[in-house]
Amino acid sequence: MSEENRGSLRIPAHIAIIMDGNGRWARRRGMPRTFGHSQGAKVVEEILEDADHLGVKYLTVYAFSTENWSRPQAEVKALMNLLRRYMKSSLAKCTKNNVRVRVIGDKSMLDKDLQDAIEDLERNTASNTGIGFQIAINYGGRDEILRAVRRAAAQGLLSDPEKIDESVLEGCLDTAGIPDPDLLIRTCGEQRISNFLLWQLAYSEMYFTDKAWPEFDHEELLKAIDAYNHRERRYGGLTD
């Protein structure tokens, strides 16, 4: 893409990414799946920086789903250890780069030390004013909606059916206060949303690439944003 075309791109305010293909990328190179996850974590940092420089206001990544617990125990353990290291190493970087971090998903199932690391990272970056970075851990879209309904019920928000509207439920979602994604990117050739942000993706544009996540780079991000620029977003209405 030429520099002229890059300068004319309309940048999505919020990009969500399903980071698929770490394990397959590693296997193709004769390496263990855990190697792919480690490489994928490095790409997360690079894309977060790229998105911030481009003017993206929010970036949300799917790191570990509620279904991922069914993977081999050794891989789950390796992923949890990778997340531990990432939470601890991210504090200095996010503070320096003015990144605000929020972890979405059911954190109650995570080990206490990981919960503590997440809480520490969220608390220490809460006042940052730069890009909002959401990391989905033990996250499932259906689970989020169920938890939101329970939260709304516990707060007495469902007692009067006539007063229940979208804003009631949105205010109880993990992403409360964050605009819905404008663009969803999924890597490694799959074309489904896999229980990710079911409520929030209602009118998001979607971009699918055959590149595995460890191969995803700045140029591929620009391609996704360029494709987004060629979409006509009507939100169910008509333009003429």
Which residues sit opposite 132 in a β-bridge? 58, 100
Mean pLDDT, range 63-72, rounded to an integer: 96
Nearest to 195 by CA among 121, 158, 133, 142: 142
Q: How confident is the model at residue 187 (pLDDT cuts 50, 70, 90)?
A: very high
Query: What percent of the chain is predicted at pLDDT more than 90?
Result: 89
Confidence at residue 14, expressed as pLDDT on a 0 to 100 scale: 98
| CA separation for the pair 90, 81 (Å, rounded) | 14
Residue 50 near residue 221, CB atoms below 8 Å? yes
Residue 85 has pLDDT above 80, yes or no: yes
Mean pLDDT, range 122-149, rounded to an integer: 97
- 11-140+178-229: CATH, from 3.90.105.10, 3.30.930.10, 3.40.1180.10, 3.30.450.30: 3.40.1180.10
Which residues sit opposite 220 in a β-bridge? none
pLDDT tens string 191-213:
999 999 999 999 999 999 999 99
Query: What percent of the chain is predicted at pLDDT more than 70?
Result: 95
What's the chain look like in SS3? CCHHHHHCCCCCCEEEEECCCHHHHHHHCCCCHHHHHHHHHHHHHHHHHHHHHHCCCEEEEEEEEHHHHHCCHHHHHHHHHHHHHHHHHHHHHHHHCCCEEEEECCHHHCCHHHHHHHHHHHHHHCCCCCCEEEEEEEECHHHHHHHHHHHHHHCCCCCCHHHCCHHHHHCCCCCCCCCCCCEEEECCCCCCCCCCCCCCCCCCEEEECCCCHHHCCHHHHHHHHHHHHCCCCCCCCCCC
Residue extents of the structural domains in the chain: 11-140+178-229
Strands 14-18 and 100-104: unpaired
| CA separation for the pair 219, 5 (Å, rounded) | 13
Mean pLDDT, range 138-157, rounded to an integer: 96
pTM confidence score = 0.93
Confidence at residue 60, expressed as pLDDT on a 0 to 100 scale: 98
| CA separation for the pair 78, 213 (Å, rounded) | 18
Which two tokens mark 159? 């007692």
Q: How confident is the model at residue 220 (pLDDT cuts 50, 70, 90)?
A: very high
Confidence at residue 83, expressed as pLDDT on a 0 to 100 scale: 95
Which two tokens mark 229? 């620029």
Which two tokens mark 18? 């399903």
Residue 112 has pLDDT above 60, yes or no: yes
| CA separation for the pair 137, 180 (Å, rounded) | 18
Q: How confident is the model at residue 234 (pLDDT cuts 50, 70, 90)?
A: confident
Give Cα separations from 66 to 61, 105, 162, 198 (angstroms): 14, 8, 33, 14
- Give the residue numbers annotated as catalytic, written as ranges: 20, 68
